[in-house]
Amino acid sequence: MTNLIILGIVAAVVYPLQKKLRETISRRRLERWAEEDRQAELERQEQDARPSDDERG
């Protein structure tokens, strides 16, 4: 019986912490992906703006 009480207390403490950690990591990952997408788009725009070697003659 004591083991079940201890398990319940541990689960009551660990589960919310684990859930919060997963949410934080997921949010940061999505932010990082969005930033990488913005950087890639800027690089594509810069490359499109520069004349290629063929266009320069």
Where in the sequence is the domain holding 42, given as residue range(s)?
A: 16-48
* pLDDT above 70 (res 26): yes
Per the domain annotation, does 7 fall within a domain? no
Q: Name the region of 28 (left: φ>0; alpha: ψ -120 to 50; beta: rest).
A: alpha
Residue 49 above 80 pLDDT?
A: yes
**pLDDT band at 50; cut points 50, 70, 90:** confident
**What's the rounded Cα separation, in Å, for the pair 8 and 1?**
11
Reported as a single tens digit per residue, the pLDDT across 7-19 is: 999 999 999 999 9
Count how many residues are written for the chain.
Answer: 57
The letter for the amino acid at 23 is E
Global pTM value: 0.62
Based on the structure, what is the number of domains in the chain? Answer: 1
Is residue 36 in some structural domain?
yes
54 domain-assigned:
no
